[in-house]
Amino acid sequence: KKDLSIVIPSYNEIGNLKKLLNQVNNILIKNNNIEFIIVNNGSTDGTKEYLKINKHIFPKIKFVTVKKNIGYGHGIKYGLKFTTSDIISWTHADLQIDINDVVNHFKKYFPKIKKKKILIKGRRINRSFFNTFFTDSMSFIVYLIFNVEINDINGQPKIFSKVFVDKILKYGPNDFTIDLFLLLLVKKNNYMIKEFPLKFKNRLNDKAKGGGTFIGKVKLTIATLKFICLLKFNFSHKLWK
């Protein structure tokens, strides 16, 4: 049993996989108390073949495969089924956030996560006004509807207690709104959200799958608004307790 399980869904990120896997492998060589679950989330770019060929090079990493891509959230939920730790984290595979930062902040806040009701998350800095505007607008809407203050909803990573995994698997959405679902879930259970600033890097390879473009941000905004309405009007209060 490990102290931390990190789930990383990867959809058509073959251009980033080699660097990502080397980073993860270097972390695992130095940290026996951490496990990584890399989810091939129904990729169609040769990821499946690449991992099959290179799997023996990275024996410490857990590789799991979703046959057909249903969404980012579904990939996370599938990966959660293979975790063994009491503390869970998820983040992206696009290398815009340094995986080492996830581990370093886990170590920094490990005692608090074990003893207190707290979720740790990154808050992206050095972003453009355009990107920050979309992010802050969604946070404001969430505050108006739920009276809950949440910053940078899709900021990575998320590090939290495994007590929420069952409800994520049962009720969590299959798209990018899974981040909002988790944050509302921990807030409604009186958990504190502790943020740390995290430098957001430019994407080097492959295309953004979520809100990386204007069209992507519009789609993500619409999906988030629909999910907010679903949570507000259709979900039982039993979900939150």
Q: C-alpha distances in angstroms, 134 versus 17, 71, 150, 218? A: 28, 21, 14, 9
Could you tell me whether strands 158-161 and 192-199 are parallel, antiparallel, or unpaired per DSSP bridges? unpaired
Using alpha carbons, select from 32, 161, 41, 172 the residue that is nearest to residue 103. Answer: 32
Q: What was the pLDDT predicted at 9?
A: 97
Write the DSSP symbol of residue 240: G
Mean pLDDT for the chain?
Answer: 90
164-193: pLDDT as tens digits: 999 999 999 999 999 999 999 999 899 999
Q: C-alpha distances in angstroms, 143 versus 85, 157, 180, 229? A: 32, 21, 12, 13
113-124: pLDDT as tens digits: 988 999 999 999
Q: C-alpha distances in angstroms, 96 versus 43, 102, 118, 162? A: 19, 12, 25, 25
Q: Per-residue pLDDT for 232 more than 70? A: yes
Q: Per-residue pLDDT for 235 more than 60? A: no
Q: Per-residue pLDDT for 8 more than 90? A: yes
Q: What was the pLDDT predicted at 58?
A: 95
Q: pTM for the full model?
A: 0.91
Distance between CA 16 and CA 177 in Å, rounded?
24
41-82: pLDDT as tens digits: 999 999 999 999 988 999 999 999 999 999 999 999 999 999
